[in-house]
Structure 1
């Protein structure tokens, strides 16, 4: 009996120590909020202007605005593998928004991922990246949000499955995968490179999409920018440090800037989720910041993976794919996949078509898409959807053909991959 009691006491002690460790890890780096702090009443015009620009850089409106809704009033659902997280109301409404928030409380949310009442926030709000934002920039964004018209819109409760809906589970996740921090400028790099690192790693939160995620939905610094499937959206965000995917180390500086500003460049264009990023965010950045981002992205250390062994496609798949291509695709993309400059991209030598992961190519065939409408590309050429025109066998065949014609070489695409793309399912 005594042995059993000792064992039980040991388990209780171990559990208490584990809880204390989780609490400690969730509080590390935090400082007490200033006493008697009050919300900002009259934000300075310069701070508001700066904050609007930074909110654009962080693409805050995309998540915090529903289609047709008031800007920043929240309500948009962010789907995750664990349920839906609904974005909060960021307008200065006293009851449902940020009306009672102070600058210090807003900073704590950005830097530590903690709400005004102390609740832990879900990382669908990308505070693992925003933790790198400076207090000065956080205060400017806060000033801008305080200047917006107040909109009364009660926040929608999250729809998360148990136990992911609990603060205890979130505390455990944070203890394992989140640590607040700041970016320390690298003295070995230029001021432009350091500014680019700050924008890409912080407000731009590029690694949130362009990195693989583990079973718990977390990314790691060691895997940053190596490409990953965007959860639920089922678009593949290609590696930014791999020449065969989306690496730009070999691109001219001006082409990278053009891509970020307009969504199109001589060597590629943006569609899918990245088109929205350009439309709502990067097209509004100034030349200096776009140039800094380009410098940083071009300097990312290469992470080249060995090319996988690829079996030649079957003759029947290529024959069927060629017939589909001739009938449905050649008018825009050319008989030889050469494209039409300024309108439709070339498919010959197009790395978006030959990436190891064919998800984006298949989704473009099924769903179509457009580059973003920008000042530099006001009437983008797009591609119509073919999901109601082509069956799975034809989509698989034409995808295989495009990946292996005109000197391209990549693995064949099977009908199971088409089925998964249609149904939004991935292994």
Structure 2
């Protein structure tokens, strides 16, 4: 009996030893998925790269992901985005995580080259080392693509990188995001995403002639250079200020692309499509909490309706065009059929000081992004081939002043300038 029990113990020890050396044969908890640390880091890096919208710039239309080559027009000439796949010769295959973090944190490449601020390192500097390492691990997991980087085509003197030293002194403040101890964790998470990887201020802050922006004017809105869209102010309730929006209305706009308060088009639609729709509900809500809490900077009272500034002939022409082309979706009184057909009455995006976006929507039409939560969006057809400049100006003027809206009139010349940007 003693020999038998000793044999059983010995066999049990041998069995345990074999299982220790072959952990894949250990019994699994039903439904559990074992993910090793490397895979977890790569998955997290992919998520963070989505949050940073890296694919939008580093992938040319019709090209391989992250292989670069995309032309980025600037007021100073064309920049060509680099290859960031794991290719040793033309990508970042020979980089280290230290090289990558230095680039993200300081805007200096592996070879010591100063990066042009079209790369949003002024925002990415806020990204933590842990998150930077995760993004780097993910990029190294992407199949390498051998595609040489195309040199930039910048006019003199902007092709002299030494000038970037002055730009950096004026507009670049290096440093990871530091949580505000006076704010809750959700607000701080939202601030980290909006200020850092989201680099939202790059579009929603006016750019000056040097290609820089004032930190004191962050999120106050401005034209997006070379894209000819206006990024509305996030700190003014007369534009896209979110102080009187609900958190759900903000999260829907960011993650779905449509909400009962409005719809995203143009460059913001691309951001939602490439980036924001993939973020977790928790992270998008954190961003909404932070954005809603941005200090409002409305210093003067809201304007009243500007209908009296419009000539009766223009108003009547605009009304007729609206009744024929727009009322079917947006309603006789501009109330829309939200969320699919946004309201035009009492819509801040319609009455902003800049009418550019409204004119472009009439000329170009467009679709909200197709997202996981709205895979088949309703779009707006273009009217550039149907309406002349006078009709475009009249209908945009009409929707900016009708139903108590407080916008200002639009001139045919403004419509004509934006018509010139349409592809032939």
TM-score interval, smaller chain? 0.7 to 0.9
| 1:230 corresponds to 2:224 | yes
Deviations 1:94-137 (A, max 9, x none): 11000111111111110110111101001111001111111111
Deviations 1:285-313 (A, max 9, x none): 11221111011011111011435685621
Q: Show the counterpart of 1:242.
A: 236
- Given the alignment, which residue of 404, 414, 417 partners 1:420? 417
Unaligned runs of 5+ in 2: 1-35
TM-score after normalising by structure 1: 0.87
Aligned positions, number: 384
Q: Show the counterpart of 1:318.
A: 315
Please show how residues 335-414 of structure 1 align to structure 2 within 5 Å.
335-414=332-411
1:379 is displaced (CA, Å) by 0.9
| 1:84 corresponds to 2:78 | yes
Please show how residues 236-315 of structure 1 align to structure 2 within 5 Å.
236-306=230-300, 307=302, 310=306, 312-315=309-312
Partners of 2:261 and 2:343 within 8 A in 1: no
Q: 1 CA distance for matches of 2:376 and 2:115?
A: 39
1:409 is displaced (CA, Å) by 2.2
Please show how residues 66-215 of structure 1 align to structure 2 within 5 Å.
66-215=60-209
**Structure 1 residue matching 2:79: 3-state secondary structure:** strand
Q: Show the counterpart of 2:326.
A: 329
**Structure 2 residue matching 1:44: 3-state secondary structure:** helix
1:175 is displaced (CA, Å) by 2.3
**Structure 1 residue matching 2:122: 3-state secondary structure:** helix
Q: 2 CA distance for matches of 1:95 and 1:389?
A: 51
Q: 2 CA distance for matches of 1:44 and 1:135?
A: 16
Partners of 2:262 and 2:339 within 8 A in 1: no
Deviations 1:46-82 (A, max 9, x none): 1101100000000000000011111111011111111
**Structure 2 residue matching 1:97: 3-state secondary structure:** coil
Pair member with larger Rg: 2
Deviations 1:293-336 (A, max 9, x none): 01101111101143568562111110111111112111211122
- In structure 2, relative to structure 1, the CA distance for the partners of 1:251 and 1:342 (3 Å cut) is closer
Deviations 1:241-268 (A, max 9, x none): 1111111121121221122110111111
TM-score after normalising by structure 2: 0.88
1:420 is displaced (CA, Å) by 2.1
Point out the more displaced range, 228-237 or 403-412. Answer: 403-412
Partners of 2:259 and 2:338 within 8 A in 1: no
Q: Show the counterpart of 1:3.
A: none
Q: 2 CA distance for matches of 1:378 and 1:177?
A: 40
| 1:55 corresponds to 2:49 | yes
**Structure 1 residue matching 2:192: 3-state secondary structure:** helix
Partners of 1:112 and 1:180 within 8 A in 2: yes
Partners of 1:43 and 1:146 within 8 A in 2: no
**Structure 1 residue matching 2:309: 3-state secondary structure:** coil
- RMSD over aligned Cα atoms: 1.6
Q: Show the counterpart of 2:9.
A: none
Partners of 1:232 and 1:424 within 8 A in 2: no
Unaligned runs of 5+ in 1: 1-41
1:386 is displaced (CA, Å) by 1.1
Q: 1 CA distance for matches of 2:72 and 2:178?
A: 31
Partners of 1:43 and 1:143 within 8 A in 2: no
